[in-house]
Amino acid sequence: MTEEEYMNEGYRKYEGTDLDIFYSAKKCQHAGICVQGNGDVFQVKRKPWILPDNGKTSEVTIIIDACPSEALRYIRKEVEPMVDLLQGKNRFYLEDDNKQLIAEITFTEPNNEFFIIDHTFVDDRLRGKGIAQALVKAVANKARVENKTIIPLCPFAKLEFEKKAEYTDVWKR
């Protein structure tokens, strides 16, 4: 869901650097998984009672995902990576200083109407830095400029298209 949808459903937003946490008092069943999971982030006797930056994002999301009532939800903030992607024929990519491939997205052009994203790769050293998202965004921007749509066959690209409304204008379903 989007921030607007959470807010329209009565959730309250607790803003963090990497993660925004949303809480709905109406949905809460008081199972205590949150406060037992991380008292630094979730502390009912403190105001505000949720401090998203007081814990590791990966650990906090596991706790929130375990909330049985879905009273707690979150949206990860994706920081745009400061990278200059290289562009080749039907691909965007990154190379390290030794000209070794460290990230890549490939796509085909079966006709003049759409692209098919078929592969995304990011070296393990770069994972979690938003590089794969930047690669998908680069293909989407190219499609917009060329007035084309995209079929995301690559599992990562497909997931990006499914969870982000910013791609609805170029998604060929």
Q: What is the CATH number of the domain that holds 38?
A: 3.30.70.20
Q: Is residue 80's pLDDT more than 70?
A: no
pLDDT recorded at residue 135: 94
For residue 128, give the DSSP letter: T
DSSP string, 7-49: HHTT-EEE--SSEEEEE-TTT-----HHHHH-TTTB-TTSSSS
Assigned domain for 106 exists: yes
For residue 83, pLDDT over 90 is answered with: no
Are residues 93 and 129 located together in one domain of the fold? yes
Within this chain, do residues 90 and 72 fall inside the same structural domain, yes or no? no
End position of a domain, from candidates 52, 76, 100: 76
pLDDT tens track for 95-110: 988 899 999 999 999 9
Q: 16 with 58, same domain?
A: yes
**18 and 65, same domain (yes or no):** yes
Structure tokens at 134: 């930047």
At 17, list the tokens.
């650097």
Contacts of 24-27 with C-beta under 8 Å, sequence gap 24+, read: 24/70, 24/71, 25/71, 26/71, 27/69, 27/70, 27/71
Task: Return the amino acid letter for 133.
Answer: Q
User: How many whole angstroms separate alpha carbon 93 and alpha carbon 172?
Assistant: 23
**Statement to judge: residues 93 and 115 lie in one domain:** yes
42 with 34: CB under 8 angstroms? yes
Q: What is the mean pLDDT of residues 3-30?
A: 93
Q: Domain boundary at 76, 95, 116, which?
A: 76
Question: Helix (H, G, I), strand (E, B), or coil: what is residue 149?
Answer: strand
Residue-range definition of the domain harbouring residue 90: 86-167
User: Do residue 71 and residue 91 come from a single domain?
Assistant: no
87-97 pLDDT, tens digit per residue, is: 999 999 999 88
When divided into structural domains, the chain yields a total of: 2
In a domain, 172, yes or no: no
Instruction: Dump pLDDT digits (tens) for 19-63.
Output: 899 999 999 999 899 999 999 999 999 999 999 999 888 789 899
Name the nearest CA neighbour of 34 among 17, 59, 2, 7: 59
Of the residues 40, 58, 76, which one is the last residue of a structural domain?
76
For the stretch 107-146, pLDDT in tens is 999 999 999 999 999 998 887 778 898 999 999 999 999 9
